[in-house]
Amino acid sequence: MLVYAFCPRCKIDISIKTSAITRSELEDEQGLYITKRCQKCATKHDFHVNQIKAKVSPRGLKLTILLSIAFAFILIIILYWMGFWSTFTLALPVAIVYLFHNSQAKEATDFNSIKINRK
């Protein structure tokens, strides 16, 4: 899951490093307002935690695709060597990527749906 703020000036995402999976956890960790410098326009912005959003990390998804293909490839070689062959092996990387994407999308939806009361 990628946690990010949106630069109002250049309309790009500013990623936020955090282990928090909810807004309240993010608030506990970094405070109600998070100051972030945009990498493009170098302007510092203060973001209220409610302005912080989450989405499926494109990099994490790419990594999962690569790893599951590598994993399936090794499994296919081992099974082939042992004399087994199954189309299930081919479905495995697809299933892993699908499950990863689903759980990430759910986490992101949960993150985005819970707002912190304005103080």
Q: Which residues bind Zn ion (CB under 5 A)?
A: 7, 9-10, 38, 40-41
Q: Which is nearer to Zn ion, 41 or 70 (CB)?
A: 41
Is residue 116 classed exposed, middle or buried when 0-12, 13-18 and 19+ CB atoms within 10 A define those classes?
middle
CB of 80 to Zn ion, least distance (A): 51
Q: Which is nearer to Zn ion, 16 or 38 (CB)?
A: 38
CB of 44 to Zn ion, least distance (A): 10
Is residue 26 classed exposed, middle or buried when 0-12, 13-18 and 19+ CB atoms within 10 A define those classes?
buried
DSSP 40: T
Q: Which is nearer to Zn ion, 40 or 106 (CB)?
A: 40
CB of 20 to Zn ion, least distance (A): 23
Q: Which residue of the chain is nearest Zn ion when measured via CB?
A: 38
Q: Which is nearer to Zn ion, 5 or 49 (CB)?
A: 5
**CB 44 within 8 Å of CB 35:** yes
**CB 56 within 8 Å of CB 108:** yes
